[in-house]
Amino acid sequence: MKILCFIQTLEEKANNNSLESLCAAQSIAKNNSGELHAVVFDKNVAEQLKAYELNSVIYINNSELDSYNPEYYLKSLELLNNELNPDLLIFGHSYETRDWVPRLSARLDKAFVSDCVSVQFNSDLHFIRPIYQAKLNEKIKLNNQGIVSFQAGSYSTENIASGSCNIDEKSLDLSNIELKINPGERFKESAEGVDLSNAEVIVSIGRGVGKIENIDLVKSLAEKLNAQIGASRPVVDAGWLDHSYQIGSSGQTVSPKLYLAVGISGAIQHLVGMKGSKNIIAINKDPNAPIFEISDYAILGDIFEILPKLIEQL
């Protein structure tokens, strides 16, 4: 089995989700006596990847690939696929790969099993992915060559096997592409920068708080616990808190000692950003809220009745 694992880069750094997928790729290669090659568009990251257990690092040296443009990325992987004929193409399920890998799937006519969380080695290779907002899982088997992506946090970069390999440098002919997509400069919208990555305690606010006036109640709990405030996407979309407070796939990833979720139901996009927390307490009145599935303590009740009394107790 021949596997190519694409490592997404930005400003000479590897995307963490890509490195996690590399860990999954190593485990698939090992269990299938397969060969594994990392594909990368950045020279510095190619150098770093040499220290991992891989058959080779394929470094594509083209100036067109210096910053992300889906059309160049697509063409590069199309050319590489046709040259190397891999059985499996593996990606991290990042925002960027979500933008171009589906098109690659159509172009190559290879099925794309996106957003997987684990792999099972049975008589066949089985990929597990969440469906229905993670209320169910499905188990999938590829019938032919295919493409797979792994959700952030499903594998840990700490488990990447080290080794040593060579860099295979290539240049591709990307000259005949008439661009229909012209990305501009990247920018940040928030002046407020909130860094939750090192917070010990986070009290996080969800749609269940109902309205902006109720945020103060949660803030007084956070003060008692010496905690920082976080939020789920609906809360920042509603403008109750700035976007920089957002935790989840479109915001920050956190792993505090305590994550206390107030009125958060736990859409998969939110869980991705906080499931690594050491202790998770969730307060919600819906017994079926998905966040309870990953909680150490599930507090079933009305936040407006519980919080004032809890604040008193502390």
Partner 1 sequence: MNICVLIKQVASEDSPLLLNDDKLTLKTDSINFVSNEPDTYALEEALQLKEKNDATVTVCTLGPESARQVLKDALAKGADNGIFISDEGIDTSSPLTIAKTISSALKDNNYDIILSGLQSNDIGFSQVGLLVAEYLKTSHASLVMGTEIINDGSDIKVKLELENGWFQWSELKLPASLTIQSGINSPRYATLKGIMSVKNKEVKEFNKNDLSISENNGYSVIEKFTPVKSKETTIIQGSADEISEQLADVLKNKIRVVS
Judged by CB under 8 A, the chain residues 112 through 131 that form the site for partner 1 are 112-115, 126, 130-131
Min CB(99)–partner 1 separation in Å: 4
Contact residue for partner 1 among 31, 44, 133, 156 (CB under 8 A): 133
Nearer to partner 1, 136 or 216 (CB): 136
Give CB contacts under 8 A, 24+ apart, made by 295-304. 295/261, 303/208, 303/209, 303/217, 303/218, 303/262, 303/263, 304/214, 304/217
Nearer to partner 1, 167 or 311 (CB): 311
Nearer to partner 1, 51 or 106 (CB): 106
Alpha carbons within 13 A on the beta-carbon side of 68: 17
Quickly tell me which residue has 């305590």 as its tokens.
258
Q: Bridge partners of 99?
A: none
Min CB(233)–partner 1 separation in Å: 7
Nearer to partner 1, 66 or 200 (CB): 200
Contact residue for partner 1 among 44, 99, 161, 177 (CB under 8 A): 99
Give the DSSP H or E segment for 24: helix 16-31
Return the closest-CA partner of residue 203 out of 230, 233, 242, 239.
230
CB 286 within 8 A of CB 207: no
Work out whether 302 is an interface residue with partner 1 (CB under 8 A). yes
Q: What is the rounded CA–CA span in Å between residue 37 and residue 233?
A: 36
Contact residue for partner 1 among 105, 165, 217, 219 (CB under 8 A): 105
Question: Which range, of 27-35, 57-65, 88-96, 158-166, touches partner 1 by CB under 8 A?
Answer: 88-96
Q: What is the rounded CA–CA span in Å between residue 190 and residue 277?
A: 25
What is the distance, to the nearest Å, from the Cα of residue 72 to the centroid of all Cα atoms in its chain? 23
Q: What is the rounded CA–CA span in Å between residue 267 and residue 290?
A: 7
Judged by CB under 8 A, the chain residues 185 through 204 that form the site for partner 1 are 185-190, 200-201
Judged by CB under 8 A, the chain residues 208 through 227 that form the site for partner 1 are 224-227
CB 207 within 8 A of CB 235: yes
Q: What is the rounded CA–CA span in Å between residue 248 and residue 268?
A: 8
Return the closest-CA partner of residue 275 out of 152, 93, 157.
152
Judged by CB under 8 A, the chain residues 224 through 263 that form the site for partner 1 are 224-227, 233-234, 237, 243-244, 246, 250-252, 257-258
Question: What is the total count of residues that contact partner 1 (CB under 8 A)?
Answer: 87
* Residue 79 three-state SS: helix
**Amino acid making up residue 271:** L
Return the closest-CA partner of residue 165 out of 35, 42, 60.
35
Min CB(8)–partner 1 separation in Å: 9
Work out whether 314 is an interface residue with partner 1 (CB under 8 A). yes
Binding mask 14-53 for partner 1 (x = CB under 8 A): -x--------------------------------------
Nearer to partner 1, 54 or 196 (CB): 196
Work out whether 84 is an interface residue with partner 1 (CB under 8 A). no
Nearer to partner 1, 37 or 233 (CB): 233
